[in-house]
Amino acid sequence: MNDTITLALSKGRIFEETLPLLAAAGIEVGEDPEKSRKLILPTNRPDVRVVLVRATDVPTYVQYGGADLGVAGLDVLLEHAGGESATGLYQPLDLRIACCRMSVAARNDFDYAAAVQQGSRIRVATKYTHIARQHFADKGVHVDLIKLYGSMELAPLTGLADAIVDLVSTGSTLRANHLVEVEQIMPISSRLVVNQAALKLKRAALRPLIDAFAGAIPA
């Protein structure tokens, strides 16, 4: 396997938005992951293959060498590292794809600003506990964090939480659930991550790929 390059991607927007970057490196993926059940996709280059993993598993695959490189959202990378910088994981490029923002949202009848002002404890439901903890600690806001694995929007509607921390793109998910964005935490985009050992051992093959990606990043 030492002469094969393995790229870890997740299905959906990351796969779709990475395709043009791969094309710039002369790489075409042979199969559509939405139609195929395969988890390993060949490419037009015999030495390059794509493995399909959950978005949250990309950093793990790359860190431990299950893949040489991968594409992961900044949200996923920050949560993976738990606020630390993950060892063995080199992050050379912001690919500026799969862009969105991490935000605080609340029910439109919850006065978030007043709650912050009064120093009340706010119950916040989120999948992104590290990012949320850091954000509220930086602001000096007291929160009780409630860890969820999906459908965060439901938490304020059922009384489970006062607010949520979630990714927002168009804002239509929030609107559809009578929630309003009350604070933006940070802009999010996807990053190229490379296994540090692979970068040394497979430098001749990886470097041109990284350079081609760099030249094709959307403005």
CB atoms within 10 A of CB 187: 10
Per-residue x/- mask for ligand PRT, residues 38 to 77, rule CB under 6 A? -----------------xx----------------x-xx-
Residue 144, CB-side half-sphere exposure with 13 Å CA sphere: 7
Contact positions with ligand PRT (CB under 6 A) in 174-193: 188, 190
The reply to whether 101 sits near ligand PRT by the rule CB under 6 A is no
Nearest to ligand PRT of 102, 116 (CB atom) = 102
Question: Which of 53, 105, 102, 104 has its CA nearest to residue 74?
Answer: 102
Q: Is 35 buried (19+), middle (13-18) or exposed (0-12) by CB count in 10 A?
A: exposed
Minimum CB distance to ligand PRT smaller for 95 or for 122? 95
State the distance between the two ends of the chain, measured CA to CA, in whole angstroms. 35
Could you say which of 95, 100, 132, 182 contacts ligand PRT (CB under 6 A)? 100
| CA-closest candidate to residue 205, choices 21, 7, 72 | 7
- 93 Cβ partners below 8 Å, 6+ apart? 191, 192, 210, 213, 214, 217
Site size for ligand PRT, by CB under 6 A? 21
Contact with ligand PRT (CB under 6 A) among 148, 168, 192, 198: 168
H or E stretch including 141?
A: none
Which of 41, 69, 98, 124 contacts ligand PRT by CB under 6 A?
A: 98
Stretch that binds ligand PRT, among 27-35, 113-121, 167-175, 193-201 (CB under 6 A): 167-175
Contacting residues toward ligand PRT, per CB under 6 A: 10, 12-14, 55-56, 73, 75-76, 98, 100, 166-173, 188, 190
